[in-house]
Amino acid sequence: MLNDWRTELTKIIDKRPRATRAELESARFTQFIEDVIAPAYKELSDELSKHERKVNIRQTAVSATISVFQNETEEITYRILSRSLTVGLVPYAEVRMRKGQRLVKAEGNVKGAGTVGTLDQITPADVIANFLSYYRTAMDAGQAV
C-alpha cells in the first residue's frame, strides 16, 4: 500500500506540464499576435498609407502596437495586450488618441464594449473593427476643434 500512493504521486507530477502557466499564456499570446493581430495591422497599415498616413507597427511578446500619424502629428496609438481572467486569456486595447491639442487614453475589450472575448474568439476583423471605432472617435474629436 505504501508504494501505491508514491506511484500515484509520481504519475500526477509527471503529467504536469513542464512550463508554468505564465509561460504557456505568454506563448499563446505571442501566437495570437502572429496569427490575428499582425494580419489585421498589416491590412490597416496598407489602407492608411493610401490616405497619406504614416504607420508604425511594433510587436513584443506582451503587446502589439499600431501608431498612426498625419504629417508629424500622432492621431492614434492602439495597443493590444492580454489579461488572464477566469474565462481565459482576454485581449484588450489600450488607446492613446488626439482630442484637440491633448492626448487622451482609453481602454476597452477588443470584442467590443461589454463583450469579453478570449484569444480563440477574436479575429482580425474584430481587431480592425475595434481599431476603427477608436480611430473614428479620434478623428471626430479632431474635427470638433
Q: First and final CA of the chain: distance in angstroms?
A: 79
Q: How far apart are the C-alpha atoms of 85 and 51, rounded to whole Å?
A: 38
Per residue in 18-65, pLDDT tens? 778 888 899 999 999 999 999 999 999 999 999 999 999 999 999 999
Per residue in 93-137, pLDDT tens? 999 998 777 889 999 999 877 778 899 999 999 999 999 999 998
Cell triple for 134 = 477608436
The pLDDT value recorded for residue 18 is 72
CA dihedral for 69, 95, 24, 37, sign (positive or negative): negative
Pairing of strands 54-59, 64-70: antiparallel
Whether this prediction's pTM lies above 0.75 is answered by yes
Q: How far apart are the C-alpha atoms of 140 and 142, rounded to whole Å?
A: 5
The pLDDT value recorded for residue 145 is 38
Q: State the average pLDDT over residues 13-19.
A: 72
Residue of 44 and 17 predicted with greater confidence: 44
